């Protein structure tokens, strides 16, 4: 696939997450994908685990939305600068287990994902963002 086609896959992934279109993940994400949340060091392995993780996050932030701001592609790699927002209205899983109770507070954040694709599907996504600032906005430790 061309860099432009890979960029489109990454852009569509953000749209699918915002719309909670879990069926679209079948077309966009490889079954054996790996997603790494760099700030916490946690990884999800496989499309089903990624969808489950995204569902937990969007349960915590029912109005969550993400938008690609800048997309740069080279071969099978795409850099995705994104902007996201949401309101903490549900239980948010803690990296070490348990969860944070809803605070009702909003957050906005920006980050960058380094995305690797194979045959037009995401196989690896490393998500870099400032978790501390988000937690501060939510009033959490």
Task: Quote the number of domains for the chain.
Answer: 1
Check residue 97 and give its pLDDT: 87
What is the domain range of residue 57?
3-94+101-138
What is the tens place of the pLDDT at every residue in 98-136? 999 999 999 999 999 999 999 999 999 999 999 999 999
Tokens representing 13 are 């992934």
Q: Kindly report the pTM of this predicted structure.
A: 0.93
The enclosing domain of 89 has a CATH number of: 3.10.450.50
What is the edge-to-edge ordering of all strands in the sheet holding 29-37? 42-45, 29-37, 121-129, 106-118, 77-87, 65-74
Cα 105 → chain centroid: 20
pLDDT digits (tens, 9 = 90+) for 4-33: 999 999 999 999 999 999 999 999 999 999
Give the span between the Cα atoms of 91 and 58, in whole angstroms. Answer: 10
CA distances from 118 to 16, 20, 63, 71 (A): 19, 23, 31, 17
């Amino acid at each position: 696939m061309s860099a432009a086609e890979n960029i489109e896959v990454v852009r569509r992934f953000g749209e699918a997450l915002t719309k909670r279109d879990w069926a679209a993940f079948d077309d966009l994400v490889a079954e054996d994908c790996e997603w790494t949340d760099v700030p916490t060091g946690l990884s999800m392995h496989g499309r089903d685990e990624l969808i489950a993780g995204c569902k937990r996050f969007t349960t915590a932030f029912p109005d969550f939305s993400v938008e690609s701001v800048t997309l740069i592609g080279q071969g099978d790699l795409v850099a995705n600068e994104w902007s996201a927002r949401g309101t903490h209205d549900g239980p948010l899983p803690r990296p070490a287990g348990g969860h944070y109770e809803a605070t009702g507070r909003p957050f906005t954040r920006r980050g960058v994902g380094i995305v690797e694709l194979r045959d037009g599907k995401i196989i690896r996504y490393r998500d870099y963002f400032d978790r501390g600032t988000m937690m501060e906005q939510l009033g959490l430790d």
